[in-house]
Amino acid sequence: MTLTNPMKNRIFILVIFMLVLACKSSHDNSSYDGKSGATIWVNTLHYPQEKHLKNIKQITFGGDNAEAYWSFDSSKLVFQANNKVWGLECDQIFVMDASKPLDSLEIPQLISTGTGRTTCSYFLPGNETIVYSSTHLASKDCPEVPNKEDYGNKYIWPVYKGYDIFVADTKGNQLEQLTFGDGYDAEPTVSPNGDRIVFTSTRTGDLELFTMNIDGSDVRQVTNELGYDGGAFFSPDGTKLIFRSSRPKTEEEIKEYKDLLAEGLVQPTNMELYVCNVDGSDLTKITDLGNANWAPFFHPSGKKVIFSSNHASKRSFNLFMINLDGSGLEQITYDTVFDAFPMFSPDGKKIVFSSNRNNNGTRDTNLFVADWVD
């Protein structure tokens, strides 16, 4: 609304794959399958330590499925996917019934155009229209992925300047374009009040947060410090924003950040979480954990935040929860590979997240829905 991001954070998965290939899981239900050339054979659906999750159900089966977000009535999910079986070359936006798992060969309703690359979709009020980001006007082809070897094999993520923000209905009819600038406009999410959209843009020369009305008017800048600010979500009452940020401090860090951004790239391997009022005031850093802390979302109470992090183990990302004052850190999931993109349903009863669990040794990232237990 992730790195993320772009599938703003799917490259994180690739990093994990390279790391876990060299190790064997100590979990009784997981073992490395050297013949498959995959990662770790993770056939666990629910780990016993996951006390906040109940009745976990896998709802997609195959391909890369991530960034699933609920409709306002908690009945549908909009998400992005890249699945060769569906004839896709890069990420596109789909919608599905949250209570009905997809068949492995079932193609859900396409929301985006099917061209270019898409990311970060979200329901608008009324549950019949969706805001999302896409590069399809810049080119119908998938944008080129940068070669990591050209950057010392560092983990980098492209910030495609062809991204703009669009509105479509749940049948895939394209209705409106909301941004028109020459640069990156993406990662939109919508206030629970239904009146504002928060998004990330390079329109000022840096990756900053902005808000606008749901018709694209009244654009207001939220953040203004050097660094990548993104993946923002509103609090349940619509008064605050939670987001991830990489804030370079040293001369070397600043130079590297600016040089990469000039090429349309970022290196979001060190990110912490910040919270602020919707106008940018009262900005507070709430994590100082190291490594990558991202994909935050407010707990229904508005007093806590759930997020994905690899601070405890570089070999895996799991979900954690923390109070807004930075206290009370608690681990929520215990996967051996990757859990991210958590979102509570608007009624507070369920949570959806993306995971590599239960993947039969493949590289598939699927969506999972569970009842939430406080």
Handedness of CA 82, 74, 2, 167 (dihedral sign): positive
In a domain, 4, yes or no: no
285 domain-assigned: yes
Tell me whether residue 264 is in a domain: yes
pLDDT in tens, 259-290: 999 999 999 889 999 999 999 999 999 999 99
Whether residue 260 contacts residue 156, with contact meaning beta carbons closer than 8 Å, is answered with: yes
Q: What is the pLDDT of residues 6-43, one digit of tens each?
A: 444 443 433 333 333 333 232 333 222 333 333 456 68
The CA angle 221-261-255, to the nearest 5 degrees, is 105
Rounded to 10 degrees, what is the CA torsion of 78, 157, 200, 189? Answer: 10
CATH assignment of the domain containing 199: 2.120.10.30
Which helix (H) or strand (E) element contains residue 294? strand 293-298
Beta-carbon contacts of 53 under 8 Å, excluding residues fewer than 6 positions away, are 46, 332, 333, 351, 370, 371, 372, 373
Smallest CA-to-CA distance from 60 within 97, 18, 112, 10 is with: 97
Q: What is the pLDDT of residues 179-225, one digit of tens each?
A: 998 999 999 999 999 999 999 999 999 999 999 999 999 999 999 99
Per the domain annotation, does 5 fall within a domain?
no
Domain holding 102, by residue range, is 10-372
What's the domain count of the chain?
A: 1
CA distance 298 to 357: 24
pTM (2 d.p.): 0.89
| 143 falls within a domain | yes
Report the C-alpha dihedral over residues 154, 326, 370, 353, rounded to 10 degrees: -20
- 350 domain residue, yes or no: yes
User: Rounded to whole angstroms, how far apart are CA atoms 374 and 290?
Assistant: 27
